[in-house]
Amino acid sequence: MKFKDKIIWITGAASGIGEALAYKSVEYGGKLILSDIDEPGLAKVVSACESSGASVLNLPFDLSSGESIEKAVLRVMEHFGRVDVLINNGGISQRSLTWETPLEVDYKIMHINFFGAVLLTKAVLPYMMEQGGGYIAATSSITGKFGFPLRSAYAASKHATQGFFETLGIELAGRNISVTIAMPGRVQTNISMHALTREGTPHGKMDPGQATGISADLCARKYLDAVYKKKHEVLIGGKELMMVHIRRFLPSLFYRLAGRIKPE
């Protein structure tokens, strides 16, 4: 019961890693705030958590809307009065070539993946500082460490996430608020199904690599354990994580390997 009676707010909780984080948080004894723009999907996850005996606030909202985020924070404070663990997990991926992607798609991905997490964190942080401590986490990706074909805006949003939350963690040193950046690789979720194409519509296909990744349950356990241990960063996945180290120590090899990937 690592987070017994802690108030845990998870965005992107209707499916994938967020859904798995919700179930694992119940196992760890938390009281939950679950958010997503997918209201029917979110309702199913909320129901499953409540059937396990958890106290859950069902709070759908749009991460791309500042007004929606502000209202959500006020609702949380009215209901629980505090947030002990904030997990910025909501986001969307991409499957389109850079030069074929309209700027509005780039903007949408940045607004949801980066600015949504920044706005929510900045809205919650004053309460967390006033209560004397807490945990903040952000879901980045291994593409937060390197570029990857068909994911220019997605990689950019995750690079930005890395920079913002790493800086925040340094600034919060000594204030009893830890910041953890999770960098998943291939995880068995539907993220590629919902990834945006150049038309701004769902990709609708499961990537082969995604289908053979680690389970979302294992990802969630490693994620929450890293948050509990107040780790600054955690890489989560399988052999694909080697690309992070290859990019860092053998950049020429990285570019050769990445160049072999054929855009679909």
What is the residue-averaged pLDDT of the chain?
95
Q: Read off the pTM.
A: 0.95
Rounded Cα gap, residues 152 and 228, in angstroms: 32
Q: Which domain holds residue 81?
A: 7-259
Residue 150 lies in a domain: yes
Per the CB < 8 A criterion, the answer to whether 21 and 215 are in contact is no
pLDDT above 70 as % of the chain: 99
Question: What are the DSSP calls for the chain, one per residue?
Answer: -TTTT-EEEEESTTSHHHHHHHHHHHHTT-EEEEE-S-HHHHHHHHHHHHHTT--EEE----TT-HHHHHHHHHHHHHHTS--SEEEE-----B-B-GGGS-HHHHHHHHIIIIIHHHHHHHHHHHHHHHHT-EEEEEE--GGGTS--TTBHHHHHHHHHHHHHHHHHHHHTTTTTEEEEEEEE-SBSSSHHHH-B-TTSSB-----HHHHTSB-HHHHHHHHHHHHHTT-SEEEESSGGGHHHHHHHH-HHHHHHHHHTPPP-
Question: Which CATH number is 223's domain given?
Answer: 3.40.50.720
Residue 2 lies in a domain: no
- In this structure, of 7-11, 102-106, 179-183, 191-195, the range with the lowest mean pLDDT score is 191-195
Residue 116 lies in a domain: yes
Specify whether 255 is catalytic. Answer: no
Residue 45 lies in a domain: yes
Among candidate residues 190, 182, 228, the one with its CA nearest the CA of residue 89: 182
- In this structure, of 69-83, 152-166, 210-224, 250-264, the range with the lowest mean pLDDT score is 250-264
pLDDT > 70? residue 263: no
Higher pLDDT, 262 or 92: 92
pLDDT at 173 (0 to 100): 95
Q: Average pLDDT in the 10-26 region?
A: 98
Residue 264 lies in a domain: no
* Residue 264 pLDDT class (50, 70, 90 cuts): low
pLDDT at 145 (0 to 100): 97
pLDDT at 190 (0 to 100): 80
pLDDT > 80? residue 248: yes
Residue 104 lies in a domain: yes
The total domain count for the chain is 1
pLDDT at 133 (0 to 100): 98
pLDDT at 176 (0 to 100): 98
**Options 154, 223, 228, 255, the catalytic residue:** 154
Q: Note the pLDDT tens digit of each residue in 196-242.
A: 888 888 788 877 777 789 999 999 999 999 999 999 999 999 999 99
Residue 1 lies in a domain: no
